[in-house]
Chain A
C-alpha cells in the first residue's frame, strides 16, 4: 500500500515537483486517485491550513502548497472522471460589480482549490445578474463575493436580494470578504459567513459544507 506521508509532506513544503513525482509513483503502485487526493493532497492541505490559522504559515507557504496540489491534480485528472473526483464542495466566486481588484479573490480561489473545493472563478466586475446566473448554472454549495472598496461592497447586498428574488437563496451559502468587509457587515447584509483571509475562508467553507 502506498505510504502517503511523503506526499503530505511535499504539500506542506509546497514542493510541486515532489508532489507530481509522488502522485505518479502512487498511481504506478496502484493507489486509487480518490485515496491519493484524500489521504495525500487534501490531508497535506489541511495541515497547511491549520498552520496558517495558527499563524505559523503565511500567504507564500499557502500559495506554494496550493500549487503543489494543483500540479498533482493535473496528473490525476486523466485517471479519474469528473464525477468521481473527490471534492469538498462546489464554490462560485467573483469580485462584485464596479470592483476590479482580484488579488484577494485569486488567493482565496487558489487556497480553496488546494484544499479540495471545486471552484468556478467568475473574475472581476461581475454584475449581480451574472452571480445569479452562475448559481443557477453551477448549482454551487457556496457563493463567495469579494470587494476591496467601500464603493462596491454594498453590491453584495444586492446579489443576496437578487438570489432571494430568484428563489435561490436557500440553495446556496453566501460568504463575503475583502478589505472593507467585516463580520458585522456580513451579518448586516444577511451573508452566511465572512472570511478575513484565505485561511479562514477555507475553514469557513469547510464548516458550511459540514466537512
Chain B
C-alpha cells in the first residue's frame, strides 16, 4: 500500500526510506492576502488551504503558531486597541514596559508587526526580568488539533516554539540594533536575560514534548550577516540541549531557514536539528541546493527548494519547470528531502504552479530519482 503524504514527510524527516519524493507546500501568505481582499480565484472562494492544496494535487504544510497561552504572575497586563495598533503595557512591581504592534491585512501572513518593542533602555531590565521570571505557559491545543484534523493524512501541521532564547531577545524584546549595542555595553545583563528566557522556552519544550506535535520548530528567520557572530555561543548550545530533549521524548526538531545561510551552514550541523525547513536557495539567497546537499550530506533533511519568486508571473512556466527539474537532479537520489517552496507562495504567486510542482514530483520523484 502506498504511503500517505504525512507518512512520507515524517519518514523523510526521520531519514527513513520513502517510495517517492514527499511534497509539503505552504500557501498561507497567498491565501490570507486573497481571502482578506476577496480576490481568491472564483473556484477557491470559501475553500480552506488544505482543500486548495488537495485540489492542486500537492502535499500540505499548514502552519500553526503556538499550543499554549501566556500568563504572567504578579503583573497587570493592560491592552489598548487603536486600530491598526495594539498597545500592551506590562505593569510589574519592577517597572512598566510597553510594546506596540500593528496589524494590517496588507501583510499576507496577517501577523501583527512589532512597531515598538518592550526594551527601550537599560532602565527596562528589571521589569523584563520580572516578566520572564513570572511567565507561565498554559497548554492550549484545541486550534492545533482542529488543523490536524483538517490536514489528515495529506500533509503535516507545523508548530513553532517561536524562537530560541537569544533570538527571542533579539527579535521580540530588543530588536537587532539595540540588542547588539546592549550585548556590547552590558553583556552580563543580556546574558542574565538569556538565562531567564531559557527557562521560558523550556516550558514551551515541555508542553510540546507532551503534545502530538511531531517536528516542533525550534527557531528560524536567520541571516548570516546578523547571526554568525552570536550563533556558536548562544544558539548552538541551546539547540543541542533542546534537540536532545525533544529526541528523548520521541520528537524531531526543525528550523525555519528562509534567510541567507551561507556562513551558518557549517555551524548548523553542530545543532543536531533534524529538518531545515523553508530552504530558499539561489537566486533568493546565495547558496544553491547542490552546495547545501554537499555541505550537509544526509545529516539534515531539507524541506523547500523552490524559491517563492519562481511562482511569480515574471518567470514563465517553462522556466519554472526547468528550475524544478534541475532541483530534482541536484537532490538525486532524493532521500532526506521534502519538496516545497522557500518559504511561501507570495500574494502574486501563481497557484497553478503549486500543482505543476506536485506534478513534476509525481513524474520524476519516484525514489531513487533518475532524471
> Which of chain A's residues have a CB closer than 8 A to the CB of B263?
55
How far does the alpha carbon of A199 sit from the alpha carbon of B107 in the complex, in Å? Answer: 28
Q: Are B108 and A151 in contact (CB under 8 A)?
A: yes
Given contacts A151-B33, A151-B106, A182-B309, contact A60 B346 (CB under 8 A): no
Judging by beta carbons under 8 Å apart, are B181 and A149 in contact? no
Instruction: Select one of B183, B225, B230, B346 contacting A150, CB under 8 A.
Output: B346
- C-alpha spacing A154/B283, complex, angstroms: 18
Chain A residues lying within 8 Å of B33, measured Cβ to Cβ, are: 151
State in angstroms the CA–CA spacing of A154 and B228 once bound together.
31
B253 → chain A closest CB, angstroms: 25
Contacts of B337-368 to chain A: CB distance below 8 A: 346-349
Q: A150-B347, A150-B348, A182-B283 are in contact. Are A110 and B177 (CB under 8 A)?
A: yes
B188 contacts chain A at the CB level, 8 A cutoff: no
From A63, A150, A184, B181 is in contact (CB under 8 Å) with A63
Is the beta-carbon distance between B346 and A180 smaller than 8 angstroms? yes
What interface size band does chain A fall in?
Answer: 20 to 34
Annotate B251-290 by CB proximity to A: 1 below 8 A, 0 otherwise.
0000000010001000000000000000000011000000
Assess whether A180 is in contact with B108, with CB atoms less than 8 Å apart: no
> CA–CA, A197 to B314, complex, Å?
24
Q: Across the interface, which residues of B come within 8 angstroms of A110, CB to CB?
A: 177
Complex Cα distance A150/B120, Å? 30
Q: Nearest CB to that of B178 among chain A residues?
A: A63
**CB pair A152 B180 closer than 8 Å:** no
* Residues of chain B with a CB closer than 8 A to A182's CB: 283-284, 309
Q: List 14 A-B contacts (CB under 8 A).
A: A14-B184, A59-B176, A60-B183, A64-B180, A67-B181, A103-B176, A150-B309, A150-B346, A150-B347, A154-B348, A179-B259, A180-B309, A182-B283, A185-B314
Q: Are A64 and B176 in contact (CB under 8 A)?
A: no
Which residues of the partner chain A approach B113 to less than 8 Å between Cβ atoms?
100-101
> B175: CB under 8 A from chain A?
yes
Q: How far is the CA of A106 from the CA of B179 in the complex (A)?
A: 14
CA distance A106 to B226 in the complex (A): 14
| B89 contacts partner chain A, Cβ-Cβ < 8 Å | no
A188 at the interface (CB under 8 A from B): yes
Residues of B with C-beta under 8 A to A55:
263
Most buried by B among A60, A98, A182: A60
> Is B346 a contact of A59 with CB atoms below 8 Å?
no
Interface centre among A67, A98, A150 (most CB of B within 10 A): A150
**Contact B108–A149 (Cβ < 8 Å):** yes
Contacts of B183 in A (CB 8 A): 60
Check if A150 sits within 8 Å of B308, measured CB to CB.
Answer: yes
| CB of A120 closer than 8 Å to a CB of B | no
* A59-B226, A100-B104 known; A151-B181 Cβ under 8 A: no
Nearest neighbor of A15 in chain B, beta-carbon distance: B184
Chain A residue nearest to B104 (CB atoms) is A100
Cβ of B184: which chain A residues have Cβ within 8 Å of it?
A: 14, 60, 64
User: How many chain B residues touch the partner (CB < 8 A)?
Assistant: 33
**B17 interface hit (Cβ, 8 Å):** no
Contacts of B307-325 to chain A: CB distance below 8 A = 308-309, 312, 314
Complex Cα gap A152–B108 (Å)? 10
Instruction: Name the prevailing secondary structure of the A interface residues.
Output: helix
Known: A14-B184, A182-B283. 15 other contacts (CB 8 A): A59-B225, A60-B230, A61-B229, A103-B177, A106-B177, A107-B177, A149-B346, A150-B312, A151-B107, A151-B108, A151-B348, A182-B284, A182-B309, A185-B314, A199-B225
For B169, what are the chain A residues with a Cβ–Cβ distance below 8 Å?
none
Given contact pairs A100-B104, A151-B347, A152-B106, A60 touches B283 in the complex (Cβ within 8 A): no
**A2 in the interface, Cβ–Cβ < 8 Å?**
no
Q: Which of B33, B106, B309 has the most CB of A within 10 A?
A: B106
Q: Complex formed: what's the CA distance from A52 to B263 in Å?
A: 13
The answer, among A59, A184, A197, for a CB contact under 8 Å with B180, is A59
Q: By the criterion CB–CB under 8 Å, are B102 and A100 in contact?
A: yes
A106 to B176, CA, bound (A): 10
In the complex, whether B77 has a CB less than 8 A from a CB of chain A is: no
> Could you mark each residue 160-196 of chain B with 1 if its beta carbon is under 8 Å from any beta carbon of chain A, else 0?
0000000000000001110011011000000000000
Q: Are B180 and A63 in contact (CB under 8 A)?
A: yes
Q: Name A107's contact: one of B176, B309, B312 (CB within 8 Å).
A: B176
Q: Are A188 and B346 in contact (CB under 8 A)?
A: no
Q: In whole angstroms, what is the CA distance A197 to B223 when docked?
A: 11
How far apart are the CA atoms of A151 and B183 in the complex, in Å?
A: 34
For the complex, is B115 an interface residue (Cβ under 8 Å from A)? yes
For the complex of A and B, 7 pairs with smallest distance between CB atoms: A150-B346, A60-B180, A98-B106, A59-B226, A151-B347, A58-B229, A59-B225
Q: A59-B176, A59-B180 are in contact. Are A151 and B346 (CB under 8 A)?
A: yes
Q: Is the CB of B346 within 8 A of A63?
A: no
Instruction: Give min CB distance, A112 to chain B, whole Å.
Output: 14
Given A59-B180, A63-B181, A100 contacting B229 (CB threshold 8 A):
no
User: Which residues from chain B contact A188 at a C-beta distance below 8 Å?
Assistant: 314
A167-191 with Cβ < 8 A to chain B:
179-180, 182, 184-185, 188
Cβ 8 A contact of A58, one of B177, B226, B284, B312: B226
